[in-house]
């Protein structure tokens, strides 16, 4: 005991943060990877997973119905930091990275005089995909490095410590934008004690190890194992909440005025659609994410407010940029969230991850889930069925067709048919014109999209041989019968074999 007390007495004390500038509040953006809104107490969850976040929500604005446009990390975070939807930024697979011509939030805040720090804990928010852009200090803990990446989780306490160390080095009066990403609520859910046994027993040999989404569709977890995984997930949330409280205490001790933005990229399925994991569907447990905006140490933002109108991840970059005079321009598709209710809009979503190809659309209280692989559609009324338990598609076929047509329009139609012929795509690619299909006969002048956006296309006029393959953005040669009029598209990424094996172990690559 004496030795422990001596060790604590001799351990270095954290450096205090310098005083800030009350006229320019600091901004802390937190992304909790894989965090479902309905597993936070502020959203009605029965377990006490989030006492600090509940307090933050009560003292600020809680957006009851925030939505992500993607059920996995890379495209969702690209939306978070650009304000663009996946159909626009097109970083929809791990072979892409954002085009350098697209402005990002940290660059915009730098232009407004903010120092910017980013501290992240997964490959899919690392510098390999260009997420370091606009940050004065960007720390991804070597997870982009072939020799070190994904060897172990970067625990959130380490992320917080590194961020506070950097902040302590900033000059007095310098406003700061801090972006923190934590992976601790992503599988494997393994928080340290005492959190690992807060709601359930700690992990033990023989517990289920994640395989892939399709495995659990065929072989669901037994109820005891599923409930244990849910408990571990909730314990991870409690651990993250504890670390955020620690961060808040340090910031309050400095006397700085801090604007908090807490959100997530996507959620996690725990058997609601018959499996376990994420990235394959666009249902509520995947895309209903938390959003809290609150000011600590100041009185400029609303307090104790709950917004019932629907908002999206694309709204955060323009909202945060609007707080900073002189911030650089973004090319956002979102709106600035202010004191008024958010406008009614359409909220598209998509996933082409692994063996999936789905489009989602929420508008006017109804949400479409559309599996392009077999042209199956589901329809939910989120006003009466927020968990999406009852499929209304058989009774409301006209609404299904209306939302499908709306989704096709929102997806864009960058391809043009120059003369009549059959347009087709191999594998999981699907052609979206007035309807969806793997092969479509289209007339001259008709426009269409293909999903995935880089899927190979073939074109066959009547009585002629099939030509192709053609791909966006290079399009087709003159005279081929197709013309591409879309944007150049994102840059390419090559992941090494060791990285892919590590990602497979986490369920991010599934064979």
The total number of residues written for the chain in this structure: 511
pLDDT by residue for the chain (511 residues), tens digit each? Answer: 444 444 444 445 678 899 999 899 999 999 999 999 999 999 999 999 999 999 999 999 999 999 999 999 999 999 999 999 999 999 998 888 999 999 999 999 999 999 999 999 999 999 999 999 999 999 999 875 644 444 557 899 999 999 999 999 999 999 999 999 999 999 999 999 999 999 999 888 889 889 889 999 999 999 999 999 999 999 999 999 999 999 999 999 999 999 999 999 999 999 999 999 999 999 999 999 999 999 999 889 999 999 999 999 999 999 999 999 999 999 999 999 999 999 999 999 999 988 899 999 999 999 999 999 999 999 999 999 999 999 999 999 999 999 999 999 999 999 999 999 999 998 889 999 887 888 889 999 999 999 998 899 999 999 999 999 999 888 899 989 999 998 877 877 777 766 666 666 555 555 4
CATH code at 24-193+233-339: 3.40.720.10
Domain boundaries, the chain: 24-193+233-339, 358-410, 415-486
**Through-space distance between the first and last CA atoms of the chain, rounded to whole angstroms:** 52
Indicate the DSSP class of residue 275: S
**Pair of tokens at residue 372:** 């392009």
Q: Cα angle at 407 between 402 and 410, to 5 degrees?
A: 130
Residue with tokens 């497979």: 504
Query: Cα separation of 384 and 364, whole Å?
Result: 13
Backbone angles phi, psi at 446, to 5 degrees: -70, 145
Q: Residue 350, exposed/middle/buried by CB under 10 A (0-12, 13-18, 19+)?
A: buried
Closest by CA to 187, choosing from 198, 203, 163, is 203
Q: What pTM was estimated for this model as a whole?
A: 0.93
Query: Cα separation of 234 and 189, whole Å?
Result: 9
């Amino acid at each position: 005991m004496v030795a422990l007390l001596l060790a604590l007495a001799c351990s270095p004390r954290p450096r205090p943060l310098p005083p800030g500038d009350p006229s320019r509040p600091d901004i802390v953006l937190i992304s909790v990877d894989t965090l479902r809104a309905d597993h936070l107490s502020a959203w009605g969850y029965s377990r006490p997973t989030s006492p600090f976040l509940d307090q933050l929500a009560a003292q600020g604005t809680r957006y009851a119905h925030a939505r992500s446009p993607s059920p996995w990390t890379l495209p969702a975070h690209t939306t978070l930091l650009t304000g663009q939807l996946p159909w626009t930024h097109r970083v929809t697979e791990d072979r892409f990275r954002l085009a350098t011509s697209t402005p990002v939030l940290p660059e915009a805040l730098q232009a407004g005089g903010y120092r910017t720090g980013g501290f992240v804990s997964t490959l899919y928010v690392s510098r390999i995909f260009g997420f370091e852009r606009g940050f004065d200090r960007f720390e991804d803990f070597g997870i982009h490095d072939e020799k070190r990446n994904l060897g172990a989780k970067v625990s959130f306490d380490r992320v917080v410590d590194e961020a506070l160390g950097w902040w302590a080095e900033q000059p007095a009066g310098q406003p700061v934008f801090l972006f923190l990403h934590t992976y601790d609520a992503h599988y494997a859910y393994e928080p340290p004690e005492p959190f690992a046994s807060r709601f359930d027993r700690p992990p033990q040999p023989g517990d289920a190890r994640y395989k892939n989404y399709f495995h659990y569709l065929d072989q669901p977890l037994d109820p005891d194992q599923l409930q244990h995984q849910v408990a571990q997930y909730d314990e991870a949330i409690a651990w993250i909440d504890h670390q955020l409280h620690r961060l808040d205490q340090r910031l309050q001790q400095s006397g700085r005025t801090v604007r908090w933005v807490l959100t997530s990229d996507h959620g996690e399925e725990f058997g609601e659609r018959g499996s376990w994991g994420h990235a394959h569907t666009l249902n509520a447990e995947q895309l209903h994410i938390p959003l809290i905006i609150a000011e600590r140490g100041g009185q400029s933002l609303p307090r104790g407010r709950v917004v019932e109108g629907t908002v999206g991840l694309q709204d955060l970059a323009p909202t945060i940029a609007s707080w900073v005079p002189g911030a650089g321009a973004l090319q956002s598709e979102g709106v600035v969230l202010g004191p008024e209710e958010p406008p009614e809009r359409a909220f598209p979503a998509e996933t082409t991850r692994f063996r999936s190809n789905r489009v989602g659309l929420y508008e006017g209280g109804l949400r479409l889930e559309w599996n392009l692989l077999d042209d199956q559609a589901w329809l939910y009324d989120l006003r009466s069925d927020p968990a999406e338990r009852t499929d209304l598609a058989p009774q409301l076929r006209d609404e299904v067709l209306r939302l499908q047509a709306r989704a096709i329009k929102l997806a864009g139609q960058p391809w043009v048919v120059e003369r009549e012929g059959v347009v087709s795509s191999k594998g999981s690619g699907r052609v979206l014109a007035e309807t969806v299909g793997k092969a479509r006969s289209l007339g001259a002048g008709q426009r269409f999209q293909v999903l995935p956006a880089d899927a190979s296309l073939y074109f066959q006029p009547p009585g002629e041989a099939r030509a192709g393959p053609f791909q966006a953005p290079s399009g087709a040669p003159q005279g081929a019968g197709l013309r591409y009029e879309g944007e150049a598209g994102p840059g390419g990424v090559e992941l090494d074999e060791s990285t892919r094996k590590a990602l497979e172990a986490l369920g991010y690559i599934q064979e």
